[in-house]
Amino acid sequence: MTHRQIVIIGAGVSGACIARELSRRELDVLVVERASDVCEGTSKANSGIVHAGYDARPGTLKAELNVEGNRMMAQLSKELDFPFINNGSMVLCFEESGIPKLEELKARGEANGVEGLKILYRDPVSRNASGDKTEDTSDNAPVWETPASAEPNISPDVVAALIAPTGGIVDPFLLNVAMAENANVNGVDFAFDTEVVSIEKNEGGSGYILDVIRHPSLRNHIDAETGDRISADIVINAAGVFADRFHNMVSAGKINITARKGEYCLLDKKTGGYVRHTLFQLPTAMGKGVLITPTTHGNILIGPTAVDVEDRDTTDTTAEGLSGVIQTAGRSVAALPSGGNIITSFAGLRAHEDNGDFIIKEVEDAPGFIDVAGIESPGLSCAPAIGVYVSEIVDRICPSEIKKDFVAERRGITSMSHADDDLRAKCIAENPAYANVICRCELVTEGEIVDAINRPVGAVTLDGIKRRVRAGMGRCQAGFCTPRQTAILAGELGVDIEKINKKGYGSGLLDGYNKE
């Protein structure tokens, strides 16, 4: 049986941000993840939105951590070299009767500490700055900004909009990867393809015993499932939609998480620029509703739906769900450029806890067991602040010294599609593989793919490459580049090509492969 001081369950964005913060201290930390890579659960299928923080009720953890995470994101993107754009967001109102709800959101955001919030009106001449009706027809009447002036393609049905200039967009995959890489460089270990099946309190004293199954894995160099046990002084439960199961194994006070599925459509880059802000509609009881947003890479993303499901692994899309996304999103703009511009669709799961707020604390009847549960929207925005929050809890339980040699910065993979001519020439001179284009849609080269595989916590699957360098994310959706990526993976990992998977064990690409 292996002993570790701290075990984090889950290598999604919350787990990775916690790992990065803990890596600042002289601690022994292991992250266990049942999938083959980081960012394989909720974190892989979300909107990539850095929310401003006006939606959560004041006084909740969601509100506190959203605003703080938002404030941290720009500096972190510079330190860890992941894409982040402060594009601002708008909440659209289509009926006069909805304006009080918009004003309520503004007041809520101001109570949470969100800066710069204001409401824009379609007919601002008849309103003053507070939104009250006025009649000012003089030549000296002020020139008011309107929703249409802020966002030219907005629907003419919009009567008012709440604008939040601190809202932004981020690459959710590269945020997750960057945090995990930096944590690993600073001493945190990762055990992938390692599924926790049970947790029990250590009868011999403090701490916990975790029973795990190690699945067939190119990382762990095993071809069959094997069992193992890990003991830990502290367990951090960042297991997404499964967090309630682990909590309920060690605590008499039960919690319940519902998996809430959201379906999305991704539009071709040629639609880029159609909207500048992230466009929300007034929220409902099920969440923030269907949005339209630019991505950091120039696409347009629409979605998600919100449907509670029993299967916590289901990520299928439905004709009904995608049709609803397109129809609802179309209400926000004058003419949604969907149709032939949709290049892919996908679905993700959000972990909704019955009480509606995050649960981040040491469990009262399970000392040393820390829940990070119910992390639904705005979880991505909150993740950096969650890392700090949990690190402070750990330090109260187990005080430790700050590392003198902590490496705070990380450089990402050089992108040939974004590099200028001088940088391209320099990279190619140093390594000719940067001149060998593998993915034509996204202009991804062999050099970038090799780097993605050989970095700390590197890619071992096609999806792992895709999330790090975007090979296969373009118009053809890997139709042309899959064989070449597969061959590169096999060569770099030193395995036969039939062992290469799309996303982990059980997702092999080749059936009946004959090496002869």
List strand residue ranges (DSSP E) for 374-443, in order. Answer: 437-439
* Tokens 């981040």, located at residue: 360
Between CA 104 and CA 109 the distance in angstroms is 9
44, 40, 18, 49: which is closest to 31 by C-alpha? 18
Phi-psi region of 17 (alpha: psi -120 to 50; beta: other; left: phi over 0): alpha
- Under 8 Å between Cβ of 447 and 431: yes
Helix intervals (H) in 398-507: 421-430, 446-454, 462-469, 482-493
Between CA 453 and CA 236 the distance in angstroms is 28
**Prior bond of 378 cis (ω within 30°):** yes
175, 171, 168: which is closest to 276 by C-alpha? 168
What is the three-class DSSP state of 133? Answer: strand
- Under 8 Å between Cβ of 36 and 42: no
**Prior bond of 304 cis (ω within 30°):** yes
**Residues known to be catalytic:** 51
